[in-house]
Copies of this chain bind each other. A is one copy, B any other.
Amino acid sequence: MSKPIVIPQTARFVEPLVLKSGATVSSYELVYETYGTLNADKSNAILVCHALSGNHHVAGYHTEHDKYPGWWDNMIGPGKPIDTERFFVIGLNNLGGCHGSTGPSSIDPETGKPYGARFPLVTVDDWVETQARLADRLDIRQFAAIVGGSLGGMQVLQWTITHPERVRHALVIAAAPKLTAQNIAFNDVARQAILTDPEYHGGDYYAHGVVPRRGLRIARMLGHLTYLSDDVMGSKFGRVLRGGSYNYGYGVEFEIESYLRYQGDKFADSFDANTYLLMTKALDYFDPPHAHQHASLSQTMATARAKFLVISFSTDWRFSPSRSREIVKALLDNNLDVSYGEITATHGHDAFLMDDAHYHKLVRAYMANVKTGEHQ
């Protein structure tokens, strides 16, 4: 059977974008992919927002030779919970990314060199604005649904605040209304590992022909470790030794070390450190009441009009179920239509990417009630 091939597309925007920071991006590109077919009245569009290390390649394959499909291929495709036989799904790489959209590693047309440290920090608000512009470009006035996990879920939440009339359904998965001090602390340790890497060069490492690989590797090892639950690490790796006995040295001894170092190496070879820094700051900054000068999330959500599906995972200690319940409470305070599912899953925060039967059944059932065309 041949693989479903998807071709990334690029949208160029020349209208200057004023960011929340006050900085302006004079022009930029967003790379995106689409799956399925937009219907006649453009009422079946779904936007997928990605998390920290995600990108536009949500489903399918780029070539017949690709070993792995897009990062959410188990969720999105023909006959899948988000069914591309019914829906027209859009995945994009966010502004500041390193997979094709304009970001710190892109060439600044003003200098002919990579932006590096000159690329401004962006926020979830800014991403929603760029995503809205992409929707305008595709002539999509209202999304049937906007979907995202983790940092992606925060973008979904922000959409319902900024553009309430443009979102019929919001799927907020494994998210939090804002980071805690502990969440910020984990991000800051990761950032400090990159920022203090001698090869970071103040963000302009491109000019030196190096990358802050050591720092990025540590950042990823730490991140990855926190996305998994203690349980799943215990059952997958436990205290199993690579060589069967202690070596009394600093090489790999435990299987978990081998796994984490491999994850760190792989990531450090493929991801841009400046993008990683920028994404973690977007996470830290996300705080809708703060951004909208409201006292509480309930007050901030008062203008939302979407129907919501909120999902959390029992062993997710990064954004635990209690964080999702804060969101649910704020929505209920505003008499919004909310479904909430707390999935018993062993995989921790990463559960939102896993092919879990209960979880997928819940999304499938919810999506079956998302109306399109003349039935909406």
Give the CA-CA distance A20 to B196 in the complex, in Å.
37
**Does residue A73 face the partner (Cβ distance < 8 Å to B)?**
no
Q: Which of A24-32, A38-46, A245-253 is the contact stretch?
A: A245-253
A277 proximity list for chain B (CB < 8 A): 250
**Does residue A260 face the partner (Cβ distance < 8 Å to B)?**
yes
Q: Which of B239, B248, B254, B287 interacts with A21 by CB under 8 Å?
A: B248
**Does residue A83 face the partner (Cβ distance < 8 Å to B)?**
no
Give the CA-CA distance A20 to B248 in the complex, in Å.
9
Quote the shortest CB–CB distance from A86 to chain B (angstroms): 40
Quote the shortest CB–CB distance from A78 to chain B (angstroms): 38
**Does residue A214 face the partner (Cβ distance < 8 Å to B)?**
yes
* Given contacts A192-B261, A234-B182, A121 and B248 within 8 Å (CB-CB): yes
Number of A residues, CB within 8 Å of B: 55
Give the CA-CA distance A285 to B239 in the complex, in Å.
10
**Does residue A218 face the partner (Cβ distance < 8 Å to B)?**
yes
Give the CA-CA distance A249 to B195 in the complex, in Å.
12
Does the CB pair B217–A179 fall under 8 Å? no
**Does residue A238 face the partner (Cβ distance < 8 Å to B)?**
yes
Q: Which of A56-64, A183-191, A335-343 is the contact stretch?
A: A183-191
Does the CB pair B180–A234 fall under 8 Å? yes
A182 proximity list for chain B (CB < 8 A): 225, 228, 230, 233-234
Does the CB pair B218–A196 fall under 8 Å? yes
A151 proximity list for chain B (CB < 8 A): none
| Interface of chain A residues 219 through 269 with chain B (CB within 8 A) | 221-222, 225, 228, 230, 233-234, 236-239, 246, 248-250, 253-254, 256-257, 260-261, 264
Which residue from chain B places its CB closest to the CB of A187 in the assembled complex?
B257
Q: Taking the full assembly, how many copies of this chain does it contain?
A: 2
Chain A 146-169 interface 0/1 with B at a Cβ cutoff of 8 Å (1 = within):
000000000000000000000000
A70 proximity list for chain B (CB < 8 A): none
| Interface of chain A residues 86 through 144 with chain B (CB within 8 A) | 120-121
**Does residue A193 face the partner (Cβ distance < 8 Å to B)?**
yes
Q: Which of B23, B181, B225, B239 interacts with A179 by CB under 8 Å?
A: B239
Give the CA-CA distance A290 to B245 in the complex, in Å.
10
* Given contacts A196-B218, A217-B196, A248-B121, A185 and B260 within 8 Å (CB-CB): yes
**Does residue A356 face the partner (Cβ distance < 8 Å to B)?**
no
Does the CB pair B184–A256 fall under 8 Å? yes
Give the CA-CA distance A246 to B21 in the complex, in Å.
8
Which residue from chain B places its CB closest to the CB of A197 in the assembled complex?
B214
A256 proximity list for chain B (CB < 8 A): 181, 184-185, 188
**Does residue A284 face the partner (Cβ distance < 8 Å to B)?**
yes
A218 proximity list for chain B (CB < 8 A): 189, 192-193, 196, 218
Quote the shortest CB–CB distance from A227 to chain B (angstroms): 11
Which residue from chain B places its CB closest to the CB of A251 in the assembled complex?
B195
**Does residue A79 face the partner (Cβ distance < 8 Å to B)?**
no
Q: 9 tightest A-B contacts by CB?
A: A21-B248, A181-B233, A182-B230, A181-B256, A181-B237, A121-B248, A196-B214, A188-B257, A185-B225
7 intermolecular pairs with C-beta atoms under 8 Å apart: A180-B230, A184-B256, A185-B256, A186-B225, A188-B256, A193-B193, A222-B222
